[in-house]
Structure 1
Amino acid sequence: MIKQLGVATTAIAAASIGTNAVAQTAPSGSSQSSPQAETSGGTGNEIIVTATRRDERLQDVPASITAFTAAQLERSNITRPIDFINATPNLSAVEANNAGDLRITVRGDAQALNTDAPVAVVIDGVVLTGATGLNKDLLDVRQIEVLKGPQGYLYGRNAVSGAINITTMAPGDTFSGRARVGYGNGDTAYAQFGVSGPLVPKRLGVSVAGGIRDGRGYYRSVTTNKFVDPYNEKSGRIRLDWTPSEAIRVQASAFYSKIEGAATNYLSQSLFPGLQTSSPIVDADFARAPFVSNIDNFNHKTDQLYTLRADYDADWGRITSVSSYERQQNIFASDGYPYSAGSGDGTQYNQRQHSAKTTELRFTSPSARALRYIFGAYYADISETPFLLAAVGADDAGFIVDRSPPVLAGPNRTTGLSVDNVFAKAWAVFGNIDWDITDQLTLTLAGRYDHERKRAVDVAFGSSAVDLDGNPATPNPPFSATAGQVRRDTFKQFQPKVSLAWQPQDAINLYATYAKGFKAGGSTLPRRSPSPVAQLQTSMRPRKPTILRWAPRPSGSTAR
């Protein structure tokens, strides 16, 4: 199957009001990562990164990092994740199937359907646990850092090939505002705004941002004469920074996003001889055949993220607590394979819902020492109910009933249904030590032990009493052929890292690194079910790649 992709050209206008500057020159020595720190990539300012949980100059970090500052994000018109992904070497992604489906590939390590990405996604210090939490508009972002290579010693499971660290704007000392609007192909228009400032001077600040994006689409179905790829997104974020004393800082934030769009816009090679594999091979990114589906597809997606961070500073170091609640719901439905103009394809309906509570507690030593260290612990309680609901139905009405199946009577009756609920509890302990052997030579020893226990429950499974055309099915298995079946798996791994960095002069950093990553496994639907939507593997093994890397890094070579 080949999916058509649209390419948009966009006109942008941006404005800002206020007097606060979002910039900071590099400090005399690296410091502990602060929720208040601001950076800029402007002329004369050194880029400060926080992905290693300390504020450090980009050229001092012995890792492959591409950093985008606020000024660079605006100058390059980066408004969505796919924009900075396309601007990052050895990083790519495909937006496919539905609004939440952003499949990331890092140095050849790809993400499969219904699995976690091979990179950790971190927003304001919170590691997202849901696979669909990244693909939405970027609101009020101060900096984005992309780390390549195993980062499990920092961010745990699934940071097997890297990490994406996103930091939002902190409130300034004076009130200011920002706004930008754009218009592009497909009648796509968007607008974003941000307002921040002090509610109580020196004590309490607020930052509010919002955005809307609306697109008619690029392609029509020749059968329905309607656009098959409309997109509408509304999102908002609020952040409060409270400083009750010189030693204590508290940061709280809330984010909400709602997307209405389309899904599963595919062209089947079986319908168009010109698309079938032959010589020369067809370019999968530019298919000339028309969409012919007779079904109006839809996609409803909501994202919520609530975070709370507290820092206590003392002469002996810093104690940091970071907690979050995350919730994602994604519903999408479309014509069935092979997506033709006829009714024999049936329909398909999918639903995923993810929620998680996480907390992390860590201790960070002062940075102005030859021997520096971080130690901490992490816990996550994850619920996916459903992890995947997949249903097929009769294409007897030209539309899909927009409610959770099974639909037992009337149009679009459900003819096959599978539901899997997945629950996971994960915990980890971690630590790393940086030792300046000399002024030019630094040794890093780090490690993290991750433990995850997963439980998958089949809620309903099988085929109904009717076939795709609504006629009695033969054979006639029940809807719940394996309902109640429980599968349990435990995944655990120690992820070490050893790095030796030599910086003979300020502009040169040579380093060698050994690291091991870990991506937890999982369970899918059992093979023995007669339903065609259930012919999937029953388990996914964990992945444990190891990397040995030597690299020179000139100053600023990975800044964008």
Structure 2
Amino acid sequence: MKISASRFAGASLAVLSLTLAVPATAQDDASQATPTTEAIPGDQAAPAQDGNAIVVYGLRRADTLQDTPAAITAFSAETIANAGIEKPADFINLTPNVNLVETQNVGNAFVIIRGITQARNSEPSVAVVVDGVQQVNPAQFNQDLFDIQQIEVLKGPQGALYGRNAIGGAIIITTKQPTDQLEGSVTVGIDNGFGWYTHGGISGPLAKGVKFRLSGLFKDTDGYIRNPYLGEDADPYKDYALRGNLLFDLGPDWNLDLRASADRTRTQGFWYNIVADVNDVSLPVRVNNAGIDNRDTNNVSAKLSYAGEGFKMTSVTSYDTVKEIITGDAFDFLPINEAFCHVTPFCFSGNNDLNQSQYLNVKAFSQELRFESPTSTPLFWMFGGYMISTDRFISTGNMLDLGKGVFPVYRTPTTNPDNPQYSFLSDQQNNFAWAAFANLGYEFSDLFRIDGSLRYDHDRRKNTTKTPEAWLAYINYIAFLNGAPQSHEGDVRRRNFSDWQPKVTATFTPTKNLTIYGGYSRGFRSGGFNQTGVGVVAASSGVVGVNDVFEAETADTLEAGFKSQWFDGLLTLNGAAFTTTSKNGYFFVYLYANSTQNLGNVPKVRLKGIELEARVVPADDFQIDASWGLTDSEIKAFPDPAAIGNEAPDISRSTINVGVQWTPDMGGGVSGLLRWDFRRTGRTWWDVYNTTVRNPVSLLDVRAGIKTDAWSLTAFASNLFNEKYNAEFSPGGFVFKARPRVYGVEAGYRF
């Protein structure tokens, strides 16, 4: 069902009218998430507030969540513990109008916010900032979370604040900080994988003016999705992670924050089924090659800050590496003795199957320098610059499956006779981006404030073909047939992508308990390069919208929203309505002919939506949360007229969240926990032609336990009713099974 402009405007006005119709009562600021009294160390001092209020930093200045003029869902340390948030999917599933698609391999997890999508090998749809350092590659995002203090999810373009690729929003993750006293915690758990895990941290002073924090995680499970052909689970998972932090007080007004982290993930991927209907979950995983999926990520960063008289300077320097090798079966993902003959142009007797390998290696150095005023004055200003240099290598290829296994291929084609190379492509990208930004906000009175931000991003990209000449023969043959230029090893392609990203927000606060805001923002996401020669292959295959270069995307958004509290904190009610015009949005295409994963552009998509979030706290130990998000999309322009008017790919029509939490005092310093979280994700479309649509998916997670100040014991179950569904449908009929029911028990100790 489409939403007409009149109905959308009417619904938006109704939401605002509902808020204005109820008289507000004077009260202190109540929390939007589970109450916490621990402030988050940020770049600005926290404002004066009620002890129950959450302070957020997503708009680059400290403010209470209820006073911040943006659609933000925040999770405090207590909420993170009570809800069992241990991976990105956990908090995204609690956020309206936000979805996470997990597929193919651990580095491919796509965040979709308000219809702004992401795909394989694409630029991210959100800026992910961990302790003030922005992640440089989307393959970093899907990591286990541990020792986390707060998570903020900002919806709507945030490019004026966080630069290119914050086109859908921003996710701000703050880990727990070094402490003045020695303290620590450890958690151990088991689940039905059969798996076990442990994570924890220790913190305290090292010397005068020096504090530390060290935290880590280990997780090991056999998996949850059975492969009956191999007699084992398709998704074993092992992860090791370590993070360290040193905080130096360098004297009057100077602080230095040094951080380092490393994560090593070992799992498997490419365990697809091929179906026509995304709702078909009847087929088991039956790949004959388990393969590997090994991802290594590293980060070192330094944040130097100086708090002078009337201003603050912050410098953030970061170096990141991401390396992932993934091997496994290839199309049609059936055992070798059942696969049909699909090798082109020849069929080999007894060897009619393929397997595949993909290698990604990214290195990036980034630097940000900004100056800002105190937030306590009516006039707030900030200006600065940012730069990032990135080297990215990617290779993909198919090998003939001789029944002897699949072996990784890195920078050059394999010479392994047990797994002979069938196709191979590789590219080296050297990118340099820079930005300049300025923010200005003025509080005219207690009732009215205007904030404006402007950022210019320039992204220079260079792609060098690393494919050996012999392996370009097929692409050049297709090019010859179509009168297209030939490709050669060493070919260099260059493109510059740049844009201005403005943001203007007006905030009206008629009472202490009601905030109304509205404004305009633009997001910009860089374009990039598909692998060499895919444009001509796509054209010869009848695929439109896919070229050697995919263009930059922009999203222009108008938004109006409100935040309100009623009846002395009994009820919190927030809402927002938005309309977005996306130009050159991404869509994904897999080309069988050269076994490549490619991005195309949808020239124009119109997105409209509404969000409502409510919380009822009838007692100190009992709360109910509910939220509803609606996103309506329509393709307005596309090279093939058959797609115009369709839903945009990868977008879910709606989300519904309902959570109930009871934490009774059981006496003797013991409290209980009973929590359930329900999530319903509406109908989801997957390609520009809307060839299939996934039916709504309903999931229920539960947790129950007891705890004291020193220890806790909790039982949990996610997807309690074992809902069977496919996490993704990729054009061509590829479906990736979602995780079934997972249950277990964990124990924690704090000192």
TM-score (ref. length: structure 2): 0.64
- Find the partner of 1:283 among 275, 279, 282: 279
Question: What is the Cα deviation at residue 302 of structure 1?
Answer: 0.4
Q: Does 1:550 align with 2:560?
A: yes
Q: Distance in 2 between matches of 1:528 and 1:427?
A: 29
Q: Deviations 1:259-287 (Å, cap 9, x if unpaired)?
A: 11001110122xxxxxx44xxxx525xx1
Match of 1:19 in 2: none
Query: Do the aligned partners of 1:206 and 1:240 also contact (CA within 8 Å) in 2?
Result: yes
Match of 2:161 in 1: 154
Q: Distance in 2 between matches of 1:462 and 1:344?
A: 26
Q: Secondary structure at the match of 1:460?
A: coil
- Larger CA deviation: 217-226 vs 451-460: 217-226
Q: Give structure 2 stretches of 5+ with no counterpart.
A: 1-35, 337-350, 479-485, 566-571, 575-612, 616-624, 626-751
- Written as runs of structure 1 = structure 2, the 5 A alignment for 1:454-493 is 454-460=461-467, 482-493=488-499
For 1:541, the aligned partner's letter is E
Match of 1:516 in 2: 522
Q: Does 1:166 align with 2:173?
A: yes
Query: Do the aligned partners of 2:535 and 2:547 also contact (CA within 8 Å) in 1?
Result: no
Q: Judging changes above 3 Å, is the alpha-carbon distance between structure 1 residues 373 and 124 closer, same or farther for their aligned structure 2 residues?
A: same
Q: Does 1:81 align with 2:77?
A: no
- Find the partner of 2:248 among 229, 242, 248: 242
Q: Distance in 2 between matches of 1:349 and 1:297?
A: 9
Q: Judging changes above 3 Å, is the alpha-carbon distance between structure 1 residues 460 and 301 closer, same or farther for their aligned structure 2 residues?
A: same
Q: Deviations 1:198-228 (Å, cap 9, x if unpaired)?
A: 1114x10000000011110123333222322
- Written as runs of structure 1 = structure 2, the 5 A alignment for 1:105-254 is 105-201=112-208, 203-254=209-260
Q: Does 1:299 align with 2:293?
A: yes
Q: Distance in 1 between matches of 2:154 and 2:360?
A: 29
Question: What is the Cα deviation at residue 291 of structure 1?
Answer: 2.0
For 1:354, the aligned partner's letter is V
Q: Judging changes above 3 Å, is the alpha-carbon distance between structure 1 residues 411 and 389 closer, same or farther for their aligned structure 2 residues?
A: same
Q: Distance in 2 between matches of 1:164 and 1:151?
A: 10
Q: Distance in 2 between matches of 1:422 and 1:491?
A: 15
- Find the partner of 1:70 among 77, 83, 106: 77
Q: Distance in 2 between matches of 1:283 and 1:172?
A: 50
Match of 2:317 in 1: 323
Query: Do the aligned partners of 1:390 and 1:418 also contact (CA within 8 Å) in 2?
Result: yes
- Find the partner of 1:364 among 360, 363, 372: 372
- Larger CA deviation: 288-297 vs 249-258: 288-297
- Find the partner of 1:262 among 240, 248, 268: 268
Q: Distance in 2 between matches of 1:139 and 1:46?
A: 23
Q: Distance in 2 between matches of 1:87 and 1:266?
A: 27
Q: Secondary structure at the match of 1:544?
A: strand
- Find the partner of 2:360 among 352, 367, 372: 352
Query: Do the aligned partners of 1:415 and 1:466 also contact (CA within 8 Å) in 2?
Result: no
Q: Judging changes above 3 Å, is the alpha-carbon distance between structure 1 residues 464 and 176 closer, same or farther for their aligned structure 2 residues?
A: same
Query: Do the aligned partners of 1:462 and 1:529 also contact (CA within 8 Å) in 2?
Result: no
What percent identity do the matched residue pairs reach? 29
Q: Deviations 1:77-116 (Å, cap 9, x if unpaired)?
A: 0011111111111111111000111111111221111102
Query: Do the aligned partners of 1:239 and 1:252 also contact (CA within 8 Å) in 2?
Result: yes
> How many residue pairs are counted as aligned between the two chains?
508
Q: Secondary structure at the match of 1:411?
A: coil
Q: Secondary structure at the match of 1:73?
A: helix
For 1:514, the aligned partner's letter is Y
- Larger CA deviation: 317-326 vs 222-231: 222-231
Q: Give structure 1 stretches of 5+ with no counterpart.
A: 1-21, 270-275, 468-472, 475-479
Q: Judging changes above 3 Å, is the alpha-carbon distance between structure 1 residues 528 and 365 closer, same or farther for their aligned structure 2 residues?
A: closer
- Find the partner of 1:311 among 298, 305, 308: 305
Q: Distance in 2 between matches of 1:37 and 1:398?
A: 61
Q: Distance in 2 between matches of 1:362 and 1:117?
A: 23
Q: Does 1:391 align with 2:405?
A: no
Question: What is the Cα deviation at residue 179 of structure 1?
Answer: 1.3
Q: Deviations 1:490-517 (Å, cap 9, x if unpaired)?
A: 0111101111101112211101111111
Q: Distance in 2 between matches of 1:465 and 1:58?
A: 55
Query: Do the aligned partners of 1:445 and 1:499 also contact (CA within 8 Å) in 2?
Result: yes
Query: Do the aligned partners of 2:37 and 2:53 also contact (CA within 8 Å) in 1?
Result: no
Match of 2:21 in 1: none
Match of 2:509 in 1: 503
Q: Judging changes above 3 Å, is the alpha-carbon distance between structure 1 residues 465 and 389 closer, same or farther for their aligned structure 2 residues?
A: closer
Question: What is the Cα deviation at residue 234 of structure 1?
Answer: 0.5
Query: Do the aligned partners of 1:103 and 1:111 also contact (CA within 8 Å) in 2?
Result: yes
Q: Distance in 2 between matches of 1:409 and 1:129?
A: 34
Q: Judging changes above 3 Å, is the alpha-carbon distance between structure 1 residues 239 and 260 closer, same or farther for their aligned structure 2 residues?
A: same
Query: Do the aligned partners of 2:357 and 2:409 also contact (CA within 8 Å) in 1?
Result: no
Match of 1:24 in 2: 38
Q: Judging changes above 3 Å, is the alpha-carbon distance between structure 1 residues 553 and 504 closer, same or farther for their aligned structure 2 residues?
A: same
Q: Does 1:432 align with 2:432?
A: no
Q: Secondary structure at the match of 1:390?
A: strand
Match of 1:410 in 2: 417
Question: What is the Cα deviation at residue 528 of structure 1?
Answer: 6.4
Q: Judging changes above 3 Å, is the alpha-carbon distance between structure 1 residues 528 and 33 closer, same or farther for their aligned structure 2 residues?
A: closer
Query: Do the aligned partners of 2:526 and 2:551 also contact (CA within 8 Å) in 1?
Result: yes
Query: Do the aligned partners of 1:295 and 1:398 also contact (CA within 8 Å) in 2?
Result: no
Q: Judging changes above 3 Å, is the alpha-carbon distance between structure 1 residues 527 and 403 closer, same or farther for their aligned structure 2 residues?
A: closer
Query: Do the aligned partners of 1:39 and 1:142 also contact (CA within 8 Å) in 2?
Result: no
Question: What is the Cα deviation at residue 37 of structure 1?
Answer: 7.1
Q: Secondary structure at the match of 2:359?
A: strand
Question: What is the Cα deviation at residue 38 of structure 1?
Answer: 12
Match of 2:719 in 1: none
Question: What is the Cα deviation at residue 361 of structure 1?
Answer: 0.5
Q: Distance in 2 between matches of 1:427 and 1:95?
A: 31
For 1:318, the aligned partner's letter is K
Match of 1:10 in 2: none
Q: Judging changes above 3 Å, is the alpha-carbon distance between structure 1 residues 546 and 146 closer, same or farther for their aligned structure 2 residues?
A: same
